Amino acid sequence: MQQEQIWDDEAARRYDTPGTGMFAPEVLDPVVDRLAELAGDGPALEFAIGTGRVAVPLARRGVPVTGIEMSAPMVERLRTKADADTLPVVMGDMATTLAPGRFTLVYLVYNTISNLLTQEEQVDCFRNAARHLTPGGRFVVELWVPELRVLPPGRAATVWHHEPGYIGLDTYDVLDQQVVSHHFHFDDSSRARLFRSPHRYIWPAELDLMARLAGLEPETRHADWTGGEFTAESRSHVSVYRLPA
């Protein structure tokens, strides 16, 4: 399934959950704080800006933000929060689309680089970030760590999260580094709603190599947006890459 088909009108309507989940202040505020710090006095570019979960509050902090997005329904929802003058968006994919200008910060959050399903596309994404940066500018990637250690021999699936009304399950193809995430939402009835999305998982070391191929230097890696230490047990990371001055 193509990404344009996944992020359709229904997915865009479900995406925003004001005040909860990804939009909870304890989740979102540290993201905005860190990105505002990295942007400094310059403008920022968000790859896959979506409905503006991060871009809208970042722009309210005084950071000029431009977005690149391939899903028209997601941008339509963004437009209910900010107009095109406040938050300009260029339609296209994050691996090849150019936005006007240069930026002190390009960022790609919430595992979205894994939506590119080949290594070549992911490398192109890094190169696209580099061509948008001013000298000394930074590219920030938030990404999960593949949980292959929890897969017993002969098994290809793992439950990565569960709570009342929700189960998240990933199926792995370890030969081609492919994952399909299955999101099951249910209530007390006998029916469940399923949303699936394909990904290509990336090891942190592979991510660093992609950066070097694009002319970027690894700068920092933390377990979260507040600067927690990244360890072998970390389930995700926030990695910062810098274009040499």
Instruction: Dig out the tokens for 139 from the structure.
Output: 């590219």
Q: How many residues does the chain have?
A: 245
pTM: 0.91
How far is Cα 169 from Cα 215, in angstroms, rounded to an integer? 36
pLDDT at 2: 57
Q: At a CB cut-off of 8 Å and minimum separation 6, what does 130 contact? A: 139, 214, 215, 216, 243
Is residue 134 within 8 Å of residue 42, measured between CB atoms? yes
Q: Is 157 helix (H, G, I), strand (E, B) or coil?
A: strand
**In terms of pLDDT, which residue wins out, 164 or 138?**
138
Classify strands 89-91 and 65-69 as parallel, antiparallel or unpaired: parallel
pLDDT in tens, 9-33: 777 777 778 788 888 999 999 999 9
Domains of the chain by residue range: 3-145+202-242, 148-197
pLDDT in tens, 53-72: 999 999 999 999 999 999 99
Q: Locate tokens 């309210």: which residue?
A: 60
DSSP, res 95: T
How far is Cα 196 from Cα 181, in angstroms, rounded to an integer? 5
Q: For 216-243, b where at least 16 C-beta lie within 10 A, e where not — what string?
A: bebeebbbbbeeeebeeebeebbbbbbb
Q: Is 24 helix (H, G, I), strand (E, B) or coil?
A: coil
Residue 194 banded pLDDT, cuts 50, 70, 90: confident
Q: Going by CATH, does the domain composed of 3-145+202-242 fall within 3.40.630.10?
A: no
How far is Cα 51 from Cα 22, in angstroms, rounded to an integer? 12
Is residue 71 within 8 Å of residue 14, measured between CB atoms? no
Mean pLDDT of 218-226: 97
Q: Is 169 helix (H, G, I), strand (E, B) or coil?
A: strand
E-only strand ranges, 93-211: 103-108, 133-144, 157-163, 166-173, 178-186, 192-200
pLDDT at 129 over 90: yes
